[in-house]
Amino acid sequence: MMEMELPQATSSVVLPTTEAPAKTTTRAVAAKKPPFKLVPFLANLGTHGALIIAALIAAMPLLLIFFTSLKTESETFSTTISILPKVWHWDNYTYVLHDNFLTYLTNSVYVAVLTTLLALVVTLPAGYALSRFEFLGKQGVMLSFLVTQMFPAPLLLVPLYLLYYQLHLLNNDNGLVIAYATTALPFSVWMLKNFFDAIPKELDQAGLVDGLNVWGVFYRIIMPLTIPGIAVVAFYNFMNSWNEFMFANLFISTTDRQTLPISLHNYDFATGVHWPWLCADAIMITLPVMLFFFWAQRYLISGLTGGSVKG
């Protein structure tokens, strides 16, 4: 009975060291397991029930957006329950695709890719330095990361807008890249530090003994071991810039430079929102990130907790 209730560490690549013994013990216990017992069966049933309900609640809005994206406009104002569209109107997608979608897409890809690259170049060395070295001001740097999280983003907008004006970064996608990479920076560095903390320092020393300099140790030994961490931070920055609305809305004024999130505005008419078009657009914006997310989520788990679980 008891083996059913043991929290086990099983899935994925997260923590191979704790995983291995967990698996063997389970197997040993499982061998003795009697054919059927009521309590574990009910516990399992309850677990699946609770998880199915939770998964439904989590997924429902996305499903409803998808169904709405296939409706006619009058159907969205129905006062009777109609979850599924009567006829599947894929032409909502065609309409949105022909409404400058490719321009927005190109801009979004440009901004997201460049943000990710810039963020990695800046945060990787910083995360490594914070993980491996003691230096004056280290505590201050870590503390300032936390303080930046407390300052409300809307208040950065006005001074940043004026600064961008002076630097000719308004209506410029590179301005967005800089803003996104910087605002995601504290969290990125903090996550990378956690990843580096999880790699034994003995590896650094072995590298130094073998005649590498610090840069060589970082570049040739530690960085290849941090690929999951790099993936997490890359993904975090990509998602962040792909989804960002506030800066893009304020800084970019012409259609040829706008990113995907702003395109949603196109369907918010003075007469009201055209929900089918807006939902079709939302689905096309969300889907690529969502697929990417499902692939990367296992790494996210280790990235967010890597070093902070030690205590």
Partner 1 sequence: MAKEAAAHPQIAAPPLMTRIGRFLNGKAFAYLCIAPVILVMAAIIFYPMIQGIFYSFTNANDANIGAHIGPNVIPPSYKTVGLQNYINILSNKASGSVIFSGLLAQTVIWVLGCVIFHAVFGVALALLLNRRIRFRGIYRALMMIPWAMPQYVAALAWSFFLNQDYGIINVTLTTLHLHAIPWTTDANWARVAVIMVNIWLGVPFYVVTVLGGLQSIPAELNEAAAIDGANWWQRFRTVTLPLLRPVLSLVMLLDVIWTFNLFSVIYFITGGAPGHASDTIISYAYEGPIQGHNYGIGAAYGMIILLILLIFTIGYSRAVRLSQGVE
- Positions 62 through 81 that interact with partner 1 (CB under 8 A): 62, 64-65, 68, 76-81
| Shortest Cβ 70–partner 1 spacing (Å) | 15
Please count the other Cβ atoms lying within 10 Å of the Cβ belonging to residue 203.
Answer: 13
Within residues 9-48, the interface with partner 1 by CB under 8 A covers: 9-11, 14-15, 18-19, 21-22, 25-26, 44, 47-48
Q: At a CB cut-off of 8 Å and minimum separation 6, what does 92 contact?
A: 69, 70, 71, 276, 277, 279, 280
Task: Please pick, from the candidates 95, 110, 219, 293, the single residue that binds partner 1 as defined by CB under 8 A.
Answer: 293
Antiparallel, parallel or unpaired: β 268-269 and 272-273: antiparallel
Among residues 153, 151, 154, 127, the alpha carbon closest in space to that of 141 is found at 127
List of E strands, the chain: 268-269, 272-273
| 155 interacts with partner 1 by CB under 8 A | yes
List of E strands, 165-207: none
Residues 248-267 as x/- pattern, contact with partner 1 by CB under 8 A? -------------x--x---
- 71 vs 89, beta carbon nearer partner 1: 71
Count Cα atoms within 13 angstroms, Cβ side, for 93.
12
- 89 vs 198, beta carbon nearer partner 1: 198
Within residues 174-203, the interface with partner 1 by CB under 8 A covers: 178-179, 181-183, 185-186, 189
| 294 interacts with partner 1 by CB under 8 A | yes
The values of phi and psi at residue 308, to 5°, are -90, 0
For residues 164 and 144, what is the distance between their CA atoms, to the nearest angstrom?
Answer: 23
Task: Please pick, from the candidates 150, 224, 254, 270, the single residue that binds partner 1 as defined by CB under 8 A.
Answer: 150
The residue range among 31-39, 86-94, 107-115, 275-283 that interacts with partner 1, by the rule CB under 8 A, is 275-283
Q: Looking at the DSSP assignment, which residues form a beta bridge with residue 269?
A: 272
Contact 208, 82 (CB under 8 A): no
Within residues 212-231, the interface with partner 1 by CB under 8 A covers: 213-215
| Shortest Cβ 172–partner 1 spacing (Å) | 14
Task: Please pick, from the candidates 39, 42, 102, 163, the single residue that binds partner 1 as defined by CB under 8 A.
Answer: 163
